[in-house]
Chain A
Amino acid sequence: MNSGRCAACKYLRRRCPSDCIFSPYFPPNDHQRFACVHRIYGASNVGKMLQQIPSHDLRAKAADTLYFEAKYRIQDPVYGCVGMITQLHQQIHSAESELAKTQAQIAFLNSNDHAQESQVQNIETKLHPDSNILILPEQTNAAGGLWSYVPASATSTDQTSWF
Chain B
Amino acid sequence: MGGSSPCASCKLLRRRCAKDCIFAPYFPSDDPHKFAIVHKVFGASNVSKMLQELPIHQRGDAVSSLVYEANARVRDPVYGCAGAISYLQNEVSKLEMQLAVAQAEILCIQMQQRPNYLPTNHIDVQAGEKSHLLSADFNNNMSQYLGFPSSSNVIQDPLKRESLWT
Contacts and interface: CB of A to CB of B under 8 A. Distances in A.
Contacts of A61: 78-79, 148
Contacts of A106: 102, 105-106, 109
Interface in A59-92: 61-62, 64-66, 68-69, 73, 77-89, 91-92
A2 B77 CA distance: 32
The size class of the interface chain B forms with chain A is 35 or more
Contacts, number: 138
Interface residues of A, number: 46
Given A78-B62, A82-B164, A88-B88, A95 B99 contact: yes
A82 B66 CA distance: 9
B68 A82 contact: yes
Identify whether the interface residues of A are mostly helix, strand, loop, or mixed.
helix
24 contacts: A40-B46, A41-B46, A58-B78, A62-B78, A65-B79, A69-B69, A69-B73, A69-B82, A78-B62, A78-B65, A79-B61, A80-B81, A81-B81, A81-B82, A81-B85, A85-B68, A85-B88, A86-B163, A88-B85, A91-B92, A92-B91, A96-B95, A98-B99, A106-B105
Interface string A85-110: 11111011011101100110110011
B107 to A, nearest CB: 10
B126 interface: yes
B82 A65 contact: yes
A102 B99 contact: yes
Contact of A85 (B81, B98, B138): B81
A99 B92 contact: no
Nearest to B51: A77
B123 interface: no
B140 to A, nearest CB: 13
Given A41-B42, A77-B62, A102-B102, A94 B133 contact: yes
A49 B76 CA distance: 11
B6 interface: no
Interface of A: 39-42, 44-45, 49, 52-53, 58, 61-62, 64-66, 68-69, 73, 77-89, 91-92, 94-96, 98-99, 102-103, 105-106, 109-110, 112-113
Contacts of A88: 85, 88-89, 91-92
Nearest to A55: B78
